[in-house]
Amino acid sequence: MSHVERPVAGSGPAASASPGSTSSTGPGAHPSGAGRLGAVGLVCASALSLQFGSAVAALLFPRAGALGMVALRLVFSAVLLFAVCRPRLRGHSRTDWAAVVGLGVALGTMNTLFYQAIERIPLGAAVTLELLGPLALSVVAGRRALSLLWAGLALTGVYLLGASGFSDLDVAGVGYALAAGGMWAAYIVYNARTGARFPGADGLAIAMVVAALLSAPLGVLSAGGALLDPVVLGLGAAVAVLSSGIPYTLELFALRRLPKSTFAVLMSLMPVAASAAGFLVLDQRMGWVQVLAVGLVIAASAGAVRTSRHG
């Protein structure tokens, strides 16, 4: 996710099935044909940009470490979003601030855990395991017998992923990915609360500053002077653009043409983008069993989102 830090979503787990759908699209905006197909392409490009950003970050782990890179990513993203959104800081209630600070804590923790995961296990496996967080939230929200099918599919996929020897998955890496998924679910909850209390992406911009303030001390303690390396700084800024700037822009345009339910289902394809980025950038290969495992989790996530949406 992943980690991702993108526009604040509307309400409900189905609408917020990824770290960052936008709330601007209503059910009335449904262009046909080429318009909708183009919007789907924008979402796919957004997912690829996000995951290739994570892959580039992983390349820098030997220089700055996972904690150093997540700090750079969040700090640069906070500066970028705050400069673009220029959120209003006055006139908010304590409840508003509780929601946005909760979002920032969830966002910072989610990204920190996820980067710890991809330092230890392949990117595709990490995103697949992380997806279990929002999947669980959608299954619970669905409250239908059909939800048990999606849970069973997901567990089957995870079993295959672990039993198939996918680079002998590191136990700590798996734990970090699952914990990141739990924080992804928390992100969704606070995402909806913040989106209801702050206009546009103002809440996300403020939350990003909170996340950056939480991660920066850990990054400095872990990486020290390596964070001042011009190469690390430059690539850290590039990671922030790939993981925040480009996805933010693409999804903003896509969600003007797509209903949020369709967007949420498309976000279930995130492991595919992650696996592609892992293969092309990090030379992380997958066998057919691993592909099947990822496919089962994707099918479970998409099905759970649809069930939650119509439940």
Check pLDDT > 70 for residue 31: no
∠ CA(207), CA(122), CA(209), 5° rounding? Answer: 10
- The pLDDT assigned to 132 comes to 82
The band of 95, judged by pLDDT with boundaries at 50, 70 and 90, is: very high
Check pLDDT > 80 for residue 85: yes
Return d(Cα 105, Cα 111) in angstroms, integer.
10
- The pLDDT assigned to 307 comes to 67
The band of 296, judged by pLDDT with boundaries at 50, 70 and 90, is: confident
Return d(Cα 237, Cα 165) in angstroms, integer.
35
In this predicted model, what pLDDT tens digit does every residue of 19-29 receive, in sequence order?
444 444 444 44
Check pLDDT > 60 for residue 57: yes
For range 230-254, the mean pLDDT? 86
Higher pLDDT, 80 or 267: 80
DSSP states of 235-248 as a string?
HHHHHHIIIIIHHH
Min mean pLDDT across 16-25, 55-64, 248-257 is at 16-25
**8 A C-beta contact, residue 236 and residue 72:** yes
- The pLDDT assigned to 71 comes to 94
- The pLDDT assigned to 169 comes to 77
In this predicted model, what pLDDT tens digit does every residue of 176-225 receive, in sequence order?
999 999 998 888 889 888 888 998 888 889 999 999 999 999 999 999 88
Task: With CA atoms as reference, report the closest residue to 107 among 213, 264, 247.
Answer: 213
- 270 contact partners, CB below 8 Å, separation of at least 6: 1, 2, 18, 47, 50, 51, 127, 131
- The pLDDT assigned to 33 comes to 57
Q: What phi and psi, each to the nearest 5 degrees, are found at residue 15?
A: -75, -20
- The pLDDT assigned to 24 comes to 43
- The pLDDT assigned to 8 comes to 41
